[in-house]
Structure 1
Amino acid sequence: MKSLLKPIYFLLLSSLTLFSCEKEDKIEAEISKISIDFTVERFDKAFAEVTPNTLPQLKEAYPFLFAKSYDDAFWLNKLKDTLQQELQNETIKKFENLKKETVEIESLFQHLKYYFPEFKTPRVITVATDVDYRNKVIVTDTIVVLPLANYLGKDHFFYDGIQEYIAEDLEPKHLVVDLATNYAKHYTFNQRRKTFLDDLIFEGKLLYFKDKVIPFKTDAEKLNYTEAEYNWAKANEEYIWRYFVDKELLFNTDTKLPSRFINPAPFSKFYLEQIDSESPGEIGKYIGWQIVRDYMKNNTISFKQMLAKEPKEIFDNANYKPRK
């Protein structure tokens, strides 16, 4: 009897996996038919070409990009500023067109519209401003602003002096990922986080959100990891989880834990020399992601409902088991 159970189990598992894939394919086919009417407005190019005669029209079209406390002379002088000229030249050279990024943003918007019918397509506007890796994109209900100088590639000379782990994130491929992160924070219930588990589950929700709205990105890209960093996280998942449990970190309220395992950093801080030197930063996000994925796999609940669930409820019902 035992010898028969194993083949039956794997047959059932294969059938469930096939059914799940077919369901996902059907959903993606429906999403691809959603009409999204938008264009990427190249304010960076328009401002670079503005003249005293055309400035009033540009200000009228983009009043929110011109502080009223500055007169026309200020903006015209800004055009002569060598730093502004360099910003404009470098962003336009790197992004002469935004064909790939536009396709990805459109797909993101289609997925958002499918899962959140109330979603309204915003204006999407590019700008050439100073590098600000802490605020890489700006998202409101009606406007998305894309500062292109934040995505010129990790080796760009603008990023000289920026730590390598930060510069790694300043690649064009991360633009739509950062946009999805902003929307994830908007749609995810953000209760006050007291414990390390609260942080893990919140970050896991954000990453699961990306599973749903940017499925065309790799898991490594969703985390802003390199493939090597992502493979390290997968290979060491069981060890990481055992460390969190053995050190009784899950329900710990130590405010230093996010800086060790959640916040951007060159590596995660286990305080073990060899592991610290090999690990990528933000490893807690990866663990939280796997917990949320298991919760969704093992419970009958919608994506939107999950976003509002309490962290402990998700953890208690996830039946999470780290991959070996």
Structure 2
Amino acid sequence: MKQLLFALILVSLFSCKEESKIEEAVAQIPVSFKVERFDQVFFGSKPEELPQIKAKYAFFFPAGNPDSVWINKMKDPLLKELYNEVQLKFSNLGKVETDLEKLFAHVQYYFPKFKTPRVITLINEVDMEGKVFYVDTLALVSLDCYLGKNHRFYVDFPEYKKEELEANQIVPNLVSSFCYEKIATPTDRTLLSAMLYYGKELYIKDKLIPEYSDAHKIGYTEMQLKFCQENEYYMWSNLVENKLLFDANPKNEQRFIYPAPFSKFYLEIDNQTPGRVGQWLGWQIVRSYMENNDEVTLEQLMAMDAKTIFDNSKYKPKKQ
């Protein structure tokens, strides 16, 4: 027992030393960018200035729409009110900019071919499907989607979605967007494949935004995260015993993967569970795999199939 404990301590110390080396290397990577406040440019301008705005930000103005469409938006009292609320919340982007700088340095460390993108903030009429966009050389952030879960504009949103409306979700959401189409699409519809798809994304957050808490990476409250940690063995056992891991029934994704008020084990405890526990379990499997296969790069992980990861993960949660 003493030998095992000593070995575990050595592994932990080695891991911390390696992480420290990586962070020292990341800190040396020069990152230069300036957040462009398109929200301020657009709503703070006069209609006669529209041609100059369109020339600089042509991709925000699809062809076929007359200028009257954009001028009406400039004058729309509801959008002006939304704009004013954004300015109150984000008069400056101090912490967000600092976190973006750290993110882009980590991206360049792990993915050298990707350069620092052009970062633009905007107002997107609280379109939850278009909160952020990060592809290649462009990163867009819809600030009106991050005013805080208790903001009056979000009163009609389902409670389980409100955690996504906090400012601390901007950078984690950007990482999710960055991962989109980079992580290999599952080759089947099994629950395990879906779990590991999102497990990869969450593991990449471990590496690209290591200073963020696990709760913020996945968009949970601390209480929801604690539930998963304390019930990991029981949740996993339930999936195994009911032979759900290799079941290709798409309803399983609704039960355990997609956003929902709670996960559906069809047990009395369901109301205490957070949604998306399949994503969280997939994260733990990927973490276990990478701990036991530390020569694997993030790009190799992104391309790897679920079976290879699972078979070599040595994942076995302990009963608490």
Q: Give the TM-score band, short-chain normalised.
A: over 0.9
AA aligned opposite 1:140: V
Cα distance, 1:173 vs structure 2: 0.4
Alignment coverage as a number of residue pairs: 318
SS of 1:126's partner is strand
SS of 2:119's partner is strand
C-alpha separation in 2, matches of 1:229 and 1:108: 25
Cα distance, 1:79 vs structure 2: 1.4
Structure 1 unmatched runs, 5+: 1-5
For the 8 Å contact 2:257–2:278, the answer to whether it is kept is yes
C-alpha separation in 2, matches of 1:196 and 1:221: 24
Matches within 5 A, 1:101-180: 101-180=96-175
AA aligned opposite 1:223: I
The RMSD of aligned alpha carbons is: 1.3
- Match status 1:259 vs 2:254: yes
TM-score (norm 1): 0.95
Cα distance, 1:77 vs structure 2: 2.6
Q: Cα deviations across residues 264-321 of structure 1 (Å, max 9, x unaligned)?
A: 0010001112x11100000001111111111111124223212211100111111101
For the 8 Å contact 1:184–1:210, the answer to whether it is kept is no
Q: Cα deviations across residues 177-203 of structure 1 (Å, max 9, x unaligned)?
A: 100111122421223332111111111
Structure 2 unmatched runs, 5+: none
C-alpha separation in 1, matches of 2:72 and 2:179: 39
4+ residue stretches of structure 1 with deviation over 6 A?
Answer: none
Cα distance, 1:233 vs structure 2: 0.1
Match of 1:285 in 2: 279
Cα distance, 1:167 vs structure 2: 1.3
Moved more, 72-81 or 178-187: 72-81
For the 8 Å contact 1:234–1:323, the answer to whether it is kept is no
C-alpha separation in 1, matches of 2:74 and 2:180: 35
Q: Cα deviations across residues 132-155 of structure 1 (Å, max 9, x unaligned)?
A: 223321223222111111000001
2:61 to 57, 66, 88: 66
AA aligned opposite 2:221: T
1:35 to 21, 30, 34: 30
What percent identity do the matched residue pairs reach? 45
1:316 to 299, 311, 314: 311
C-alpha separation in 1, matches of 2:68 and 2:178: 37
AA aligned opposite 2:227: W
